[in-house]
Structure 1
Amino acid sequence: MPTRRILSLWFPRLGAERLIRMERGLLEAPLVVLQETGQMQVISSLSPEAEAAGLTLGQPMRDAQAMCPEVIMRLQNKPAEAAFLGVIRRWAGKFSPWVAEQPPDSLVMDITGCAHLFGGEEGLVSEVTEECARLGMTVHVGLADTLGAAWALARFAAQAGESHRSGDDIRQEARATRSRAVRRRHWTRGGTPPTTLATAVQGARIAPPGQTHGALAGLPVAGLRLEAETQAELARLGLRRIGDLSGQPRAALARRFGKGLVLRLDQALGSVPEPVSPAAPAPVFAVRMTLPDPIGLEDDLMAGIQRLLVPLCDKLRDQGKGARVVRLQVFRTDQSMQWVDVGLARASDEPERIRPLLRMKLDEIDAGFGIDMLRIEAVRVEALHQRRAVGHLEAGRAVAERLSAGHALDDLVGRIGARIGLEQITRRHPASSHIPEKGAQVLHAAWSEPYREDWPTPPVARPLLLWHPEPVMAPDTPRLTGPFRWRGRDMAWVAAQGPERIAPEWWLDDPDWRTGVRDYWRVTCESGERLWLYYAHGGAMSSGWFCHGAFA
């Protein structure tokens, strides 16, 4: 069986070069792409001119402006970059049928049995790099027996020849090691330089078949796709290269750094398989409309939306699907794009239920100098139940059942959710607990059904209002013997009904119930207030009186 050969393509300037392909005026200017981090805007991609000016990835926007005042800045468009990577994936299908994406900026190909069609592996790599150069794309290529090794070679092969030990590291070694260190000579002082078995072809690194271990030995541990914390901990221990880890016992590495390090190391060396599995193209439920003249009025947008929703819902209906989240994208004449998402409380394939939600979101769209293309996509879909044709009488009955079944309520939830978010709308269902504050559970209205049965009635009436237990100043006795003080007010009671004893759930450690068993009383005060007081008999905490709620 032939050795598997994996080719990794890394596009380090994907975001910037996508914009340069769209605007040729950016070809010679320093360009950076900014990413929103919540606190500030940082550089996520930059052109070679911007890098030559001293700008770096992750640098804040204001620092970049101070270093290079003539820099051109653009906001990152993640959906557009993901779509651009998908276009590159389809282009890469000419070299191998097994191509998979590695978001956000790389591809991986299984070229086993394909290299001879392009004059061998070196010829295939040369053709890939030459075509990427003609397309205006910067690419780093790595070729090896495993996916992890190819990934590492594409990104870190240029660092394989660098020294991984400083002159001060000898001072951190054990005394017995230092006594023999004089016999060693660093390669910068005339010793044997570190070597790598990977050969370079036009900026690519090719590891010969069966030589994965030697090709990876000189690469930094970052080539194993490790977390930043794990890399820092390895560096503190002097383990900076993959070769420093490959000879270590796996059990010791797993105990110290977790199984993730061992898994990544074994995947890179081929001990654990990591196949290239290109996913089948998912069905895309989207429609678009190109306009002859730019538009900007709300009525014009709604007219375009109405025309697009009909074919979109027809596509959904043909597949037995319903839209749960719909995205409206508007493309402006300045080559920028803006989008809004709306969510439905229930999946639907009816334009009448989607159009009002999109209308509510039009206020968030800035038409700029005009909109020349509209696109609507069902981002999230769900299966719908099959339907059957009925007569007029049965149709009327079906409409009544729909209204009584809560579809009108679902539409209301969807419209309110378009304003405040579906996560903010909740409903309550009864819960199986005798604890008062746990008698109901809160569920999201958009992802739950209404409770159809009768609400269970407790043996003793519960108050309408419940709050966190508040201390009551009263004599420490199981029964009220006189006035009490609550919320800074002196109160006198005229009637009390009880007690209702409620014990805590012994299988749960609830901090609010560490006062032990409670005796609840329905107390009527002279002021007319009806309070729900309880006396805590004491457990892990001291005993006393508390107020838990009030009756209407």
Structure 2
Amino acid sequence: MPHRRILSLWFPRLGAERLIRVEPHLGDVPFAIMEEQGPAQVLSSVSEAAAKLGLYSGQPLRDAHAQCADLITRPRAAHREADFLGALHRWAGRFSPWVSSEPPDALVIDLTGCAHLFGGEAALAKQVTQDCADLGLTARLGIADTLGAAWALARYSAQQVGSHRSGDAIDQEARATRSRAGKRRHWERGGTAPGVAAASPSQSRIAPVGQTWSAIGSLPVAALRLEPHTRDQLNRLGLRRISDLLGQPRAGLARRFGRGMVDRLDQAIGSAPEPISPAPPPERFAVRLSFPDPIGLASDVEAALERMLGPLCDKLRTKARGARVMRLEAHRCDGQMCWQTVTGAVASADPQRLRTLLAMKIEALDAGPGIDMLRLEAVQHEPIQARTMAGHAEAAAHGQRRQNQGAALEDLLGRLGARVGMEAITRLHPGASHIPEKGAQVLAAAWSEPAEDWPKSATPRPVLLWPPEPVAGGDGPTPPPRFRWRGRDFSCLQASGPERIAPEWWLDDPAWRSGPRDYWRVETDRGDRLWLFYAHGAALSPGWFCQGSFA
């Protein structure tokens, strides 16, 4: 069995370089990503130009602006950085099928049995570095027998070991001891250990097989992924390098610094296991069809869809999934590609329902000189469950009728959505409020179910509602016999009411600062049935207003 080999790939400027790929001009100026940490704003990622000026991640934003007045910042979008790291996760799959993410800016690749396919570990590391440079990313990598050692080599292989104080720790000792400080060897005071050649960065980050101890022994104790307070305590005791810990009794280290520090040390040298859990690959459902000769007629594309939808829906049903968003790609013989996307009202694995929606997008495809290949993919899919009708014959027949009616409505929504957009089709649902204008909420029809039971009111509600409009009439709470509204004069023939509606006292709604309202249903001489109310004027002047109209 081959020896286990782990590659740790770290992107120290992932956040900044992600935006530089979108806005290339940011790469020529000092640029940084800032985020809020409690009440303070700090830098989460800096560009190479900003790093050359001394800026670093974790630096307060005020200090950064004082140090570099020309600094350009952008707010951090953690979800976009996570999506970008996911794209790099898929790219890293070309080197090994065993890839795991280390949010927010690192990947772990298990190279066991894969390095020889690229000419060895050194050649693979060179290929990874070149690919990252082509992507415009700064990358540091480390290869070792364990994940902890590879993590340490990727981040600390080029870092010098220093003291936690402004001078050497020997300066804090007694005078008699300090007088002999010059006789001490430099590596005992934090310098480079003897026998470690000044190798190139690429060579120093690859630990030979079975030599994990010697590869990470000269690195600082921070390379063990320790907590900051533990790292500071070790530095105060003069334990600055990992080699200083390897010779110490484990029981004493565990009593003084806790079991976590000992576990990190054992994981780095391979005495304790540290498994890698790769993310499962996303389920993809796609089919393609190539043609011996280019096609360009709509009828040919429809015939191709008939052949492609069957296998695609079989794959979806096997996984109990239904396609919500479909993407049809047409690869032309001139090397160009055009596509169309269609969204269904519900997720479905029925070829006929999907074919109806896709047929509406065929005319929008630009065939150009001819189409060599068609590719159909379920871009967004959802789990679906088979419906089983059970019970008495009457109940089963009633349920079947409701199912057929629901399917017809869903097909109608899908066809309308393919033409005007699925977001443009909405439906009303009852709202949890006694305020008239909040009695219904607008939801997207494709992502909601029809409301079955609407709350019944003791008094009828108007068909049309609008914001309250002032009415010129009487001053009292009784409906005026004559009033003027929208530039027209009305006479009140009959009025029914009042219905008092109080505002929501737990909310400060500017539209309801007039206090309680008395609503009346008024029939006028012009045939209009209006919904008038009298505002009693808690914070504003009282008066009459019109808010709706009955059928």
The TM-score normalised by the length of structure 1 is 0.59
How many aligned residue pairs are there?
409
Determine which of 210, 216, 223 is the counterpart of 1:209. Answer: 216
CA distance in 2, matches of 1:324, 1:282: 16
CA distance in 2, matches of 1:502, 1:538: 13
Secondary structure of the structure 2 residue equivalent to 1:504: coil
Counterpart position of 2:475:
476
Counterpart position of 1:373:
373
Counterpart position of 1:165:
none
CA distance in 1, matches of 2:129, 2:356: 47
CA distance in 1, matches of 2:203, 2:338: 37
Does residue 515 of the first structure (1) align with residue 511 of the second (2)? no
CA distance in 1, matches of 2:493, 2:388: 65
CA distance in 1, matches of 2:482, 2:507: 35
Does residue 338 of the first structure (1) align with residue 334 of the second (2)? no
Counterpart position of 2:9:
8
Q: Alpha-carbon deviation of 1:534? A: 0.5
Q: Alpha-carbon deviation of 1:462? A: 1.2
Determine which of 82, 87, 90 is the counterpart of 1:86. Answer: 90
The 5 A counterparts of 1:157-176 are none
CA distance in 1, matches of 2:418, 2:407: 17
Secondary structure of the structure 1 residue equivalent to 2:465: strand
CA distance in 2, matches of 1:459, 1:354: 45
Secondary structure of the structure 2 residue equivalent to 1:92: coil
Secondary structure of the structure 1 residue equivalent to 2:93: helix
CA distance in 1, matches of 2:369, 2:26: 27
The 1:342–1:402 alpha-carbon spacing in structure 2 relative to 1, beyond 3 Å, is farther
Secondary structure of the structure 1 residue equivalent to 2:416: helix
Is the 1:10–1:155 Cα contact (8 Å) retained in structure 2?
A: no
Q: Alpha-carbon deviation of 1:527? A: 2.2
Counterpart position of 1:129:
125
Secondary structure of the structure 1 residue equivalent to 2:315: helix
Per-residue CA shift, 1:75-107, capped at 9, x if unaligned?
A: xxxx9x9889736414334xxxx4136899985
The 1:147–1:472 alpha-carbon spacing in structure 2 relative to 1, beyond 3 Å, is farther
The 1:90–1:518 alpha-carbon spacing in structure 2 relative to 1, beyond 3 Å, is same
The 1:150–1:462 alpha-carbon spacing in structure 2 relative to 1, beyond 3 Å, is farther
CA distance in 2, matches of 1:402, 1:154: 62
Q: Identity percentage over the alignment?
A: 48
Does residue 401 of the first structure (1) align with residue 401 of the second (2)? yes
Is the 1:200–1:206 Cα contact (8 Å) retained in structure 2?
A: no
Does residue 463 of the first structure (1) align with residue 438 of the second (2)? no
Secondary structure of the structure 2 residue equivalent to 1:419: helix
The 1:144–1:467 alpha-carbon spacing in structure 2 relative to 1, beyond 3 Å, is farther
The 5 A counterparts of 1:52-451 are 86=90, 88-93=92-97, 98-100=98-100, 107-109=107-109, 125-131=121-127, 138=134, 140-143=139-142, 200-202=200-202, 209=216, 277-386=277-386, 401=401, 404-451=404-451
**Residue type at the aligned position of 2:441:** Q
**Residue type at the aligned position of 2:95:** W
CA distance in 1, matches of 2:484, 2:219: 78
**Residue type at the aligned position of 2:359:** R
Secondary structure of the structure 2 residue equivalent to 1:358: helix
CA distance in 2, matches of 1:490, 1:329: 62
The 1:496–1:211 alpha-carbon spacing in structure 2 relative to 1, beyond 3 Å, is farther
**Residue type at the aligned position of 2:463:** L
Secondary structure of the structure 2 residue equivalent to 1:477: coil
Is the 2:115–2:124 Cα contact (8 Å) retained in structure 1?
A: no
Query: Structure 2 stretches of 5 or more lacking a match?
Result: 15-19, 28-46, 49-82, 161-190, 208-214, 233-263, 268-273
Is the 2:149–2:216 Cα contact (8 Å) retained in structure 1?
A: no
> CA RMSD of the aligned region, Å?
5.4
Is the 1:491–1:525 Cα contact (8 Å) retained in structure 2?
A: yes
The 1:490–1:376 alpha-carbon spacing in structure 2 relative to 1, beyond 3 Å, is same
Does residue 546 of the first structure (1) align with residue 545 of the second (2)? yes
